[in-house]
Amino acid sequence: MSHLYRQLRIHQIFGANTDVGKTIITAALVRASALKNNNVFYLKPISTGAPLDADDQHVKRYAGPHHHLVDAHCLFRYGDPVSPHLAVQMASDKSDIKLTPASDATFVNAIAEYIRRCAQTRQSGHMYVETAGGVHSPTLSGTTQLDSYRPLFLPTVLVGDSKLGGISSTISSYESLLLRGYIVDAILLFRDQYYRNYEYLLSYFAERGVHVTSLEPPPPRLDNATEDIASTESYYAKLIPRNFDSEIFCTLRHLDECHSSRIEELDSMPRRALDTIWWPFVQHGLVQSEQDVTVIDSAYADFFSVYNSSSKPPSPSSSLLAPQLDGSASWWTQAVGHAHPSLGLAAANAVGRYGHVIFPQATHLPALKLAERLLHEGPGRGWASRAFFSDNGSTGMEVALKMAIRSFSVTAMDELTPRDKKTLGIVGLKGSYHGDTIGAMDATEEGVYTCEWHQSKGFWFEPPTVSIKRGNFTVSVPPAIASSMSAVKFDDLHAIYDIKKRLGSPLAATYRNHVRNVLQALDRHGEQKLAALVLEPIVMGAGGMIFVDPLFQRIMVDTVRDSSLFSNPLPVIFDEVFVGLYRLGFESLGPVLGVDPDISVYAKILTGGVLPLAVTLASERVFQAFNSQSKVDALLHGHSYTAHAVGCQVANTTLDLLEQLSQHDSWSAAREKWVCEPGSEKIWSFWDPNFVHSISSLDIVDETMTLGTVLAIKFKDNSAGYASHSAQALLRSIKTSACDGSLSSAPGGAPFGIHYRTLGNVAYFMTSLNTPRDTIEEVENRLWRVLSRTPVM
Amino acid sequence: MSHLYRQLRIHQIFGANTDVGKTIITAALVRASALKNNNVFYLKPISTGAPLDADDQHVKRYAGPHHHLVDAHCLFRYGDPVSPHLAVQMASDKSDIKLTPASDATFVNAIAEYIRRCAQTRQSGHMYVETAGGVHSPTLSGTTQLDSYRPLFLPTVLVGDSKLGGISSTISSYESLLLRGYIVDAILLFRDQYYRNYEYLLSYFAERGVHVTSLEPPPPRLDNATEDIASTESYYAKLIPRNFDSEIFCTLRHLDECHSSRIEELDSMPRRALDTIWWPFVQHGLVQSEQDVTVIDSAYADFFSVYNSSSKPPSPSSSLLAPQLDGSASWWTQAVGHAHPSLGLAAANAVGRYGHVIFPQATHLPALKLAERLLHEGPGRGWASRAFFSDNGSTGMEVALKMAIRSFSVTAMDELTPRDKKTLGIVGLKGSYHGDTIGAMDATEEGVYTCEWHQSKGFWFEPPTVSIKRGNFTVSVPPAIASSMSAVKFDDLHAIYDIKKRLGSPLAATYRNHVRNVLQALDRHGEQKLAALVLEPIVMGAGGMIFVDPLFQRIMVDTVRDSSLFSNPLPVIFDEVFVGLYRLGFESLGPVLGVDPDISVYAKILTGGVLPLAVTLASERVFQAFNSQSKVDALLHGHSYTAHAVGCQVANTTLDLLEQLSQHDSWSAAREKWVCEPGSEKIWSFWDPNFVHSISSLDIVDETMTLGTVLAIKFKDNSAGYASHSAQALLRSIKTSACDGSLSSAPGGAPFGIHYRTLGNVAYFMTSLNTPRDTIEEVENRLWRVLSRTPVM
């Protein structure tokens, strides 16, 4: 991940094209840095072309008449002056030994290793990392440079193109850099007096706050080698005068300032955040120290790059930025890792084509395609006919509630008094959570999350739950349902999720009677007319990662639709905001339960973990309840940014990526591990079954459970609940990195800490849908090491 | 705006760099199109370099031995082979006549005019518009090509770069194209056998769904002109064989398919939208025809580019896409026009650096900077100490309500019974609207917008209002406040908004007594304890663009803070979601009322009309009400995407743009018109005062009012209210374009329709903060023409 050292300033040099003078300008920077008495490191990770002409030779030769160039180094060298990916192939063709192109990880780790070594050798100075060709020239693996170097997140100097057409390639290259999130500290280019690109670019980039410097172009190359060297040396001597009076020194000063002000800013951020931010779900009274603030400088794939005052490096040779695994998938949003270039391009493309455009009675391609996709090929397949857009899971659920309640009111109109209509309630489960807006909260029980205006509207069943307890696959039945059996053991998880088979079991009959009796009693009691069933299928997230017995949820659905019980069946809402779109390994949970809802809601993963958007899907029957000739009957809910093109386009791209991932080997491999017998491929997890079992058998652990990307560990704790800090306390040590000397799977190989969230006495860990197996394994090993050594409290 | 003709396929040809063979490849496409018996038009808008070598000459010479090249044309020609912006300057230097660089509008209008003329000349065929240099080479005005051509939104062919470094420039150019929203139908490049860029690019773009074709490179240029022509001719003859058997014909077929499938898709969109979308605030029972659906193909600045089945062109020579002014600023969100490149780049940069990263106890630069800016330099200046992020205006208001109610409960704890706490209510105004979630709705009266679960929690005063009635500046006082005076006239608007002066007026005393008496009576009655004052300062938007008498709002604030009346002052919430950030010409409305709130909310304009984000600002006192040592006392509200980096970064860029705009001449010019006497610059509007007066005097108009970007026209209608369709009916004709022969101010000069929204009998129009004066004037003229001719109903 990112490298940042207090005393060692590092810049990577990208070129707006090949042959724009990248090496000359880098050599000039090296010489200027050296003349200013800095230790200087020059790294050219890949060099192609004749060895004698190699860039590191050039830099060494003209580094100046002093001895501050500590090292000029090249990691991968190929003779053919072609693009690196081709050079590998050509070198391979010429040799008996077949070369394997270096993978992106090898490449990044080699650079990271070099940087670490330099930081240890000399703790202060300047380092210049010169890339090859243009910004998007391929590296050895074939990945383009901008994407290859991105995990290192080094600040950038762009060498502009001074030739005809160079204005264009300079601006385009700059835009490609910004698209990958890079910091561009300066643009340098030659002062070509005919095309005068520098004049244009100076003013273009001044408007954008980017520092541009133009430099005298180099002399023409001379045929006589000695003369050429003399002429080049005199060029450098003039460009970098001993009195420090030239443009290059301004640039140097500017780069130094960028470096020190970046560190100052990072230093200041914890204090500034503590002074201005009001965090969600945070008791500020308990967060007063700068060390409590996670400063996220950037993020890449599964990792944050954090600057944490609590982890102030013991020595100046440690990077100020360290990788930290995003262990909660950033509050359950991440699907394909942070900073995915396809999603950035999708977002930018939608802004460029539309911005946001008004949606009522209007349509645009990104929204229309997303709606059709979710309805016809996605979770709405087979039952949903309409897509309603809103801004997040909570608003999506408010829309769902408005739909369900109206839909019920319209069908049950004859039986409802005006008072009934105002007090219609929902049926749900204790532990439900549907979002933070007050209406969504009203669809749950009163609890710690609810505010003064909260008013529970409905009835909530206590749910039987699924877990692995001391290695046993267990359904725990609460006494309210069946006092005689508190735990039912199963041979494997598949048996628990084989609803079809279980529908005929004695437990099913017990559930059926319980649900029926309770609902009938409520109806007789008559205080509140029930109008909808609202479920988070399979897992209740915010309630504490509660894995509900799917059989119970199935029977709830069947019961509220039983016409012998309800003259008007209750509409069923599936809140799939958290559980849907493969979070639990399934596109949607209806097929797992074996029933379709009337309404369902999607958000979080929907937009690939980039920005908020929600879609509420509804059946034709629900839609028709609002259909009339009167405007006031319409669903009068709509946010200004409804179906914003950016969110829709990012969602479409995300669904493309999910489709590719669902065919990916890593998914098959994970599935493979969970198969017990043929036909049991249904239930699976990215987490290793043996690990989950082992953890469940520890004395401090009450139970564990996993599906898809989610791992939940419930600790034994008498003071359980949201206010409990036991899980936090137990796991504190995994937040900071532990170095065992080996390379980690974080990009660059640095040891990583794990950022995690807890819900009282439940710790959970959540991966993206493309987190590599080795990263998950490191988390498993880390958890095992910490938890297996913890004595029982 | 966009041009799209059923029979005439148009592509613009961009180059990944200069000298990549753009003209040769375009000539090949021209020749192939012609050989396939299409009428072909070739346009090179700007040509630089020797006239005899000019690209149009080349295209003409090698168009082939048939006569289908209808025209090869150049609009602006300069002799120096440099970037166009420099060519203008050089030509100017050489000549006695000083040339003015063509403005972007002139440039776009000239191309649009050429396209229109060609479409009339030959109604079918192919047109190729060849750009100059690379994608970002400057045009005559200095704006780069991608931005200059963007209003025309023509589908694009990118000519790739086959030389060393060309992989990079091709990919970068492609990304810059996508950033501006362009459709890239194909990439063509030469088949260089040494660098083999085409191999790499073919597979790179195949993954991204883009068609890549490689072509045989041209022969070397020969010194002998005759031989050179012969050799070139034979090259083209081979590239474009008479048997149609070559790659170029595959490309041709592909481009034809892209064109026809785009039109087919547009044709299908109304039906598909009617079949799948559930629109917000739309009664689907009243929207059943394809003609009722606005298909937005793209948007630019203040205009949508719409394809509307209702406006099927009368002749094949009319463009299928027409500009339509976004007259509601896309539900009040737009600030700087659609598709602003800075905002696209900001969004992409945030995705590239962070994606979304978890926020509780964490911080990142975009969120921190936005918080500090709003608190210290923005609307929170002087009173707010904390920024809480959420997803949209409605959630921002729910947060504000939770803050206010808790803050009141904590200070008034000793006086509140548990029942009191559950029924705390708010004070507001009739006509208020704070968003669509149920909690935000509960802070308003029951009405058409509210759903079954709605429960009004509070008391709402009937407001005195400000308007221009038959040319008179009037405050209308409802009988509940003062039966003796229903309308108070003022000399000018400034006098109405001079609160300081008016606080001593008899009307102020009347207001004060009324507010005090009502609140005291409510308190004595004791049914509901009041806990907060909630106001949309100055204008209530969704309630019907009601301009409230600012004096009344000021007195409400003063009263709820009066310690002689309330032992615990009520916290005051300003809902500035719609009115703030210059929508009404002011950054925030506190200074207009002369008081600061305790809590205020911002959204809509905040993110430049691109995507949703809200910020709730709070005073230190409010923040401290949640501060303790217990987690359950915290504000337990937080959306997954809280403070998403994309929204924050776009917001920061928007605030930069607003700062620039607020210094802009167009704002001073608008302000100037509204000045009555020195010192009265405070109140102003983008709309012309004379126009607003004149409209107010029409017989069908009840009253008008304007501030900042907002113009409201209330029509006389006995059946007023949300269900009324009178405003819709009166203005229907302005939705479609009316051509009076002159060029409009829409990019390209085509006549434009006006997309507008109404609220019952109120029509409103809303500009962006950078809408040019001539566009506003056209709307004024159009409104005047329609309304002044409408007889009284």
A8-263 folds as Rossmann fold (3.40.50)
pLDDT at B680 over 70: no
Q: How far is CA B296 from CA A365, A649, B299, B330, B495, in A?
A: 8, 15, 7, 12, 43
Tell me the shortest Cα–Cα distance from A485 to chain B, in angstroms: 34
Q: Cβ(B272)–Cβ(A372) under 8 Å?
A: yes
Q: How many whole angstroms separate alpha carbon A424 and alpha carbon A138? A: 62
Q: Which residue has the higher pLDDT, B482 or A588?
A: A588
Q: Are A363 and B294 a contacting pair at CB < 8 A?
A: yes
- Contact: A164, B133; criterion CB under 8 Å: yes
pLDDT digits 0-9 by tens, B354-366: 999 999 999 999 9
A310 pLDDT higher than 80 = no
The CATH 3.90.1150.10 portion of chain A extends over 667-789
- A686-694 long-range CB contacts below 8 Å, 24 or more apart? A686/A767, A686/A771, A686/A773, A686/A776, A687/A711, A687/A776, A687/A780, A688/A776, A688/A777, A688/A780, A691/A780, A691/A784, A692/A468, A693/A468, A693/A471, A694/A784
Region A135-158 average pLDDT: 95
**Within chain B, how many helices (H) and strands (E) appear?**
26, 28
End-to-end CA gap in chain A: 37
Q: What is the pLDDT of residue B728?
A: 82
* Residue B415 reports pLDDT greater than 60: yes
- Among A254-258, B539-543, B731-735, whose mean pLDDT is lowest? B731-735
Contact check, Cβ <8 Å, A278/B175? no
Instruction: List residues bridging with A595 in a β-sheet.
Output: none
At residue A86, the pLDDT reads 79
CA distance B58 to chain A (A): 21
**What pLDDT does residue B317 have?**
79
Contact criterion met (CB < 8 Å) for A283 and B395: no
For residues B633 and A793, the model is more confident at B633
Reported as a single tens digit per residue, the pLDDT across A56-93 is 899 999 998 877 899 999 998 887 777 777 777 777 67
The pLDDT of residue B792: 64
pLDDT value at position A471?
A: 94
Among A353-357, B449-453, B659-663, top mean pLDDT goes to: A353-357
Handedness of CA B674, B680, B681, B683 (dihedral sign): negative
How large is the greatest C-alpha to C-alpha distance in chain A, in angstroms? 105
The CATH class of the A667-789 domain is: alpha beta
- Which residue of chain B comes nearest to A340, CA vs CA? B352
Which of B135, B278, B279 shows the shortest C-beta gap to A172? B135
State how beta strands B362-363 and A294-300 pair.
parallel
H-run or E-run covering B277: none
* Predicted local distance difference test score (pLDDT) of residue B319: 92
CB contact under 8 A, A168 and B334: no
Best CA proximity match to A195, nearest among A169, A164, A172, A220? A164
Any idea which of A755-759, B11-15, B450-454, B785-789 has the lowest mean pLDDT? Answer: B450-454
**A704 — pLDDT class (breaks 50, 70, 90):** very high
State in Å, rounded, how far the first CA of chain B is from the last one: 37
Q: What percent of chain B has pLDDT over 90?
A: 80
Report, as an integer, the average pLDDT of A404-417.
91
Q: Which residues, in sequence order, are bridge partners of residue B11?
A: B128
Q: For residue A571, which of A602, A517, A616, A508 has the smallest C-alpha distance?
A: A616
d(CA A451, CA A441): 9
| Residue B593, H or E segment | helix B590-593
Non-local CB neighbours of A95 within 8 Å, separated by 6+ positions: none
Provide the CB-side half-sphere exposure for A783 (13 A, CA).
28
**Which helix or strand (DSSP H or E) is residue B126 part of?**
strand B125-134
Mean pLDDT of chain B, nearest integer: 93
Residue-averaged pLDDT of chain A: 93
Interface mutation target, options A131, A163, A640, chain B, most CBs of B under 10 Å:
A640
Residue B674 exposure: Cα atoms within 13 Å on the Cβ side: 23
Distance from CA of B684 to the nearest CA of A (A): 25
Q: What is the rounded distance in angstroms from the CA atom of residue A375 to the CA atom of residue A617?
A: 7
User: Closest chain A residue to B723 measured between Cα atoms?
Assistant: A631
Contact criterion met (CB below 8 Å) for A684 and A676: no
Q: Quote the tokens at residue B779.
A: 């709307």
Closest CA to A239 of A16, A15, A35, A14: A35
To the question of domain B359-662 being in CATH 3.60.15.10, the answer is no
Q: What are the start and end residues of each CATH 3.40.50.300 domain in chain B?
A: 8-263
CA distance A285 to A277: 13
Q: Which residues on adjacent β-strands are paired with residue B470?
A: none
Tally of residues, chain A: 793
Q: How many of the other CB atoms lie within 10 Å of CB of A177?
A: 22
Chain A CB contacts of B83 below 8 Å: 164, 167, 195, 197, 200
Of A681, A672, A694, A685, the closest CA to residue A769 belongs to: A685
Is the C-alpha dihedral spanning B378, B379, B381, B387 positive or negative? negative
List chain B residues with CB under 8 Å of A392.
391-392, 395, 639-641
Beta pairing class for A710-715 and A425-429: unpaired
pLDDT band at residue B313 under the 50/70/90 scheme? low
Does the distance separating the beta carbons of A638 and B172 come in below 8 Å? no
> How many CB atoms lie under 10 A from the CB of residue A245?
8
Contact A442 B438 (CB under 8 A): yes
Residues of chain A with CATH 3.40.640.10: 359-662
Residues of chain B above pLDDT 70, percent: 96
- In the structure, what pLDDT confidence band is assigned to residue B490 with cuts at 50, 70 and 90? very high
Q: Which of A22, A146, A171, A172 to mutate to test the interface with B (most CBs of B within 10 A)?
A: A172
Residues of A in contact with B82 (CB under 8 A): 164, 194-195
Picking from B595, B171, B121, the residue whose alpha carbon sits closest to that of residue B382 is: B595
* A741 pLDDT more than 70: yes
CB atoms A175 and B171 under 8 Å:
no
CA dist B131 and B154 (Å) reads 12
Instruction: For residue range A460-514, list pLDDT tens digits in order.
Output: 999 999 999 999 999 999 999 988 889 999 999 999 999 999 999 999 999 999 9
- Partner residue opposite B610 with nearest CB, options A294, A351, A360: A351
| Residue in A with minimal Cα distance to B18 | A165
Q: What is the pLDDT of residue A720?
A: 60
Q: Does A330 contact B292 at a Cβ distance shorter than 8 Å?
A: no
Mean pLDDT, rounded, for B151-174? 97
User: Is ipTM > 0.95 here?
Assistant: yes
Please say if the pLDDT value at position A774 is more than 90.
Answer: yes
At residue B449, does pLDDT exceed 90?
Answer: no
| Per-residue pLDDT, B530 | 93
pLDDT of residue B581: 98
Q: Is the pLDDT of residue A145 over 70?
A: yes
Q: B interface mutation test: which of A205, A279, A294, A455 has the most B CBs within 10 A?
A: A279
Among A23-32, A306-315, A632-641, B779-788, where is mean pLDDT lowest? Answer: A306-315
Counted across chains A and B, CB pairs separated by less than 8 A come out at 610
- Give the tens place of pLDDT for each residue, A675-693: 877 665 589 999 999 999 9
On whether the CB atoms of residues B495 and B481 are closer than 8 A, the answer is no
pLDDT of A483 reads 83
